[in-house]
Amino acid sequence: MGWTILVILVVVVGLAISIYNRLVAGRNRFKNAFAQIDVQLTRRHDLIPNLVETAKGYMKHERETLEAVINARNTAVSGLKAAAADPSDPDAMKKLAEAEQGLSGALGRLFALSEAYPDLKANENMMQLSEELTTTENKVAFARQAYNDSVMDYNTLRESFPNNFFATWFSFKAAELLEIEDESKREVPKVSF
């Protein structure tokens, strides 16, 4: 009887250790995935002042648009710092998503206005910065997808039985997805003949 209890106790302790270690690994994976987003968003944020400086020389009377881009960039940088401090904080992730959405909108307006300035469109620096920004946007999308996949795996692990008991006991919080809504992707394409 004593050996049976000891074996059961060893199995339960082994199971608890295994579950705890898997939860820690899952949490570390989603934090690492967020670090990849951090790298790409930082690169994006670093490119924007150069883009604005290049545009300033050509778009002197479009000051509002240029200032809106810089303000949106600064808000996004602040949101990224808050989210990087704790990627499991739902409020920080929501603010980051809203800030990035605002920045994307401001950049869209800047690029739309640049169409009216042929010299700016043809400027080598502007073309290079636009290309780098587009490449970075793609990298952000891939990093965000990898992060959201890691969050989904972690949350599934955290919410599964019997892991959910250990997750509660050891305060493993749910991770928040990073969803940046791009309104242009939701618009119905207009076709006219």
Residue 10 pLDDT: 92
Look over the chain and give the mean of its residue pLDDT values, rounded to a whole number: 84
Residue with more model confidence, 140 or 117: 140
Residue 193 pLDDT: 36
Residue 188 pLDDT: 42
Question: How many residues comprise the chain?
Answer: 193
Percent of the chain at pLDDT > 70 equals: 91
For domain 27-180, the CATH superfamily is LemA-like domain (1.20.1440.20)
Residue 165 is encoded by which pair of tokens?
A: 């008991």
Q: How many other C-beta atoms can be found within 10 angstroms of the C-beta atom of residue 104?
A: 20
CA distances from 193 to 126, 190 (A): 33, 10
**Alpha-carbon gap, residue 66 to 109, rounded angstroms:** 9
Closest of 98, 138, 117 to residue 60, by C-alpha:
117
Terminal Cα distance for the chain, rounded: 85
Residue 182 pLDDT: 57
Task: Give the mean model confidence (pLDDT) for residues 94-112.
Answer: 89
**Alpha-carbon gap, residue 89 to 83, rounded angstroms:** 7
Residue 108 pLDDT: 87
Please report, for the chain, the start and end positions of each structural domain, with discontinuous segments joined by +.
27-180
**Alpha-carbon gap, residue 160 to 152, rounded angstroms:** 12
- The amino acid sitting at 61 is H
Residue 59 contacts residue 66 (beta carbons within 8 Å): yes
Residue 74 pLDDT: 92
Closest of 89, 79, 72, 76 to residue 30, by C-alpha:
89
pTM beyond cutoff 0.75: no
- Per-residue pLDDT of 51-95, as tens digits, reads 888 787 777 667 788 888 889 999 999 999 998 888 888 898 899
